[in-house]
């Protein structure tokens, strides 16, 4: 079994099925503390430093909320311009300094592998809150927790899952991490719907095919989304050279009630890591889906608190 205490959480590749089962179990045990039916002080006096060098709503706030619910304090640095990184300080030096002020650090940065580089200088656990287009491991864990929870309503689990990943699969780090985690389960079918220019990286596809799973790669939505779970992603405008280039791909795979009713199954669960782009021109995940019971996007975001509480408890070696 993986040793959690004192470990960095940098990539989903560090987990096997047993480690994931442990994280999902501990996440479920956090429900009474997250809803404050029970109070918890196991991290009394401990300090989380949240370092977010890219915009974030859910990841940053749910890391902080999770730490507070376990009794700890949270300090935040938001934006590289508010850090001495902007004066040329290295990630290594920053890590040496900040880890001296912290029990654990959560970090998001626009550059791929930068969080791992930072972790080399840290004396406390570092949790990757998203490193460029590379990975978003805590999002993938909360996505898996959500899939398990939603599928349990239909007597299904994580094995034998039929899932569609749709949108900007090239730049969407959440679908990279989720695909790698899904490769650990049995008999998974993953349909990847994207514009040809925004297809899933080959290395991620191989993780699934090498494990014997069925992967369908297509640029057609019609006829390909009758599945257990459809996971829509945003066009990651910040990873394109210009807004005009990102605009070329907007609206190709819009999911709205009419499309859902025509092409999905009766019980297809809709997921999205959020933020969804609700500007009319985005044409992405329509608000006319908001009254569907199978729209799981806000339950999914809520599960982020449970999973991040579990990761703090495991990496810091405490039990509520
Ligand atoms: N899902 C996610 O990472 O959302 P934020 O960018 O708001 O943190």
For 285, phi and psi rounded to 5 degrees? -125, 105
Answer yes or no: are the C-beta atoms of 118 and 126 closer than 8 Å.
yes
Using the atom order of ligand 1, give the atom closest to the CA of residue 304.
Answer: 1
Q: Does the structure show a pLDDT above 80 at 283?
A: no
Position 310 confidence tier, pLDDT thresholds 50, 70, 90: very high
Calculate what percentage of the chain has a pLDDT beyond 90: 90
Q: How far is the CA of 67 from the centre of ligand 1 (A)?
A: 17
Distance CA 318, CA 138 (A): 19
Q: How far is the CA of 77 from the centre of ligand 1 (A)?
A: 16
Q: Does the structure show a pLDDT above 80 at 281?
A: no
Using the atom order of ligand 1, give the atom closest to the CA of residue 130.
Answer: 3
Q: How far is the CA of 63 from the centre of ligand 1 (A)?
A: 11
Q: Does the structure show a pLDDT above 80 at 64?
A: yes
Mean pLDDT throughout 114-125? 98
Position 237 confidence tier, pLDDT thresholds 50, 70, 90: confident
Closest to 218 in 3D by CA, of 202, 200, 203, 236? 200
Using the atom order of ligand 1, give the atom closest to the CA of residue 57.
Answer: 7
Tokens of 83: 């850090």
Residue nearest to ligand 1 atom 5, measured at CA = 56
Range from 3-17, 154-168, 234-248 carrying the lowest mean pLDDT: 234-248
Residue 250 has a pLDDT of: 84
Q: Does the structure show a pLDDT above 80 at 295?
A: yes
Mean pLDDT over the full length of the chain: 96
Mean pLDDT throughout 129-147? 96
Q: Does the structure show a pLDDT above 90 at 248?
A: no
Q: How far is the CA of 57 from the centre of ligand 1 (A)?
A: 6
105 contacts: CB under 8 Å, gap ≥ 6: 48, 49, 50, 51, 95, 98, 99, 118, 122, 124, 125, 126, 127
Q: Does the structure show a pLDDT above 80 at 71?
A: yes
pLDDT, tens digit, for every residue of 33-56? 999 999 999 999 999 999 999 999
Residue nearest to ligand 1 atom 1, measured at CA = 273
Per DSSP bridges, beta strands 73-78 and 162-166 are unpaired
Residue nearest to ligand 1 atom 4, measured at CA = 58
Residue list, ligand 1 pocket, CB within 6 Å: 56-59, 130, 139, 273-275
Residue 37 has a pLDDT of: 97
Residue 284 has a pLDDT of: 87
SS3 assignment for the chain: CCCCCCCCECCHHHCCHHHHHHHHHHHHHCHHHHCCCCCCCCCCCCEEEEEECCCCCHHHHHHHHHHHHCCCEEEEEECHHHCHHHHCCCHHHHHHHHHCCCCEEEEEECCCCHHHHHHCCCCCCEEEEEECCCECHHHHHHHHHHHHHHHHCCCCCCCCCEEEEECCCCCCHHHHHHHHHHCCCCCCEEEEECCHHHCCCHHHHHHHHHCCCEEEEECCCCCCCCCCEEEECCCCHHHCCCHHHHHCCCCCCCECHHHHHHHCCCCCEEECCCCCCCCHHHCCECHHHCCCCCECHHHHHHHHHHHHHHHHHHHHCCCC
pLDDT, tens digit, for every residue of 192-212? 999 999 999 999 999 999 999
Q: Does the structure show a pLDDT above 80 at 257?
A: yes
Q: How far is the CA of 274 from the centre of ligand 1 (A)?
A: 6
């Amino acid at each position: 079994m993986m040793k959690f205490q004192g470990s960095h959480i940098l990539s989903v590749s560090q987990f096997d099925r047993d480690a994931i089962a442990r994280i999902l179990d501990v996440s479920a045990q956090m429900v009474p503390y997250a809803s404050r039916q029970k109070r918890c002080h196991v991290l009394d006096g401990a300090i989380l430093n949240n370092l977010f060098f890219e915009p974030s709503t859910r990841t940053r706030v749910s890391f902080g909320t999770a730490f507070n619910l376990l009794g700890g304090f949270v300090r935040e640095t938001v934006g590289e311009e508010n850090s001495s990184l902007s004066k040329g300080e290295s990630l290594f030096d920053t890590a040496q300094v900040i880890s001296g002020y912290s029990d654990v650090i959560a970090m998001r940065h626009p550059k791929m592998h930068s969080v791992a580089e930072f972790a080399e200088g840290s004396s406390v656990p570092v949790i990757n809150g998203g490193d460029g287009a590379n990975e978003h491991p805590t999002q993938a864990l909360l996505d898996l927790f959500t899939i398990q929870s939603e599928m349990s309503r239909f007597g299904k689990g994580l094995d034998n899952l039929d899932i569609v990943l749709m949108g900007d699969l090239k730049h969407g780090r959440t679908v990279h991490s989720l695909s790698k985690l899904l490769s650990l389960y049995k008999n998974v079918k993953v349909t990847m719907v994207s514009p040809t220019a925004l297809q899933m990286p080959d290395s991620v596809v191989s993780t699934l095919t090498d494990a014997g799973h069925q992967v369908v790669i297509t640029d057609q939505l019609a006829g390909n989304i009758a599945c257990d779970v459809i996971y829509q992603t945003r066009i990651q405008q910040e990873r394109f050279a210009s807004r005009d280039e990102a605009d070329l791909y907007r609206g190709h795979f819009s999911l709205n009630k009419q499309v859902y009713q025509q092409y999905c199954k009766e019980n297809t669960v809709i997921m999205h890591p959020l933020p969804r782009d609700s500007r009319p021109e985005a044409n992405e995940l329509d608000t006319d889906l908001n009254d569907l019971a199978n729209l799981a996007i806000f339950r999914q975001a809520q599960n982020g608190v449970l999973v991040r509480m579990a990761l703090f408890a495991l990496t810091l070696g405490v039990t509520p």
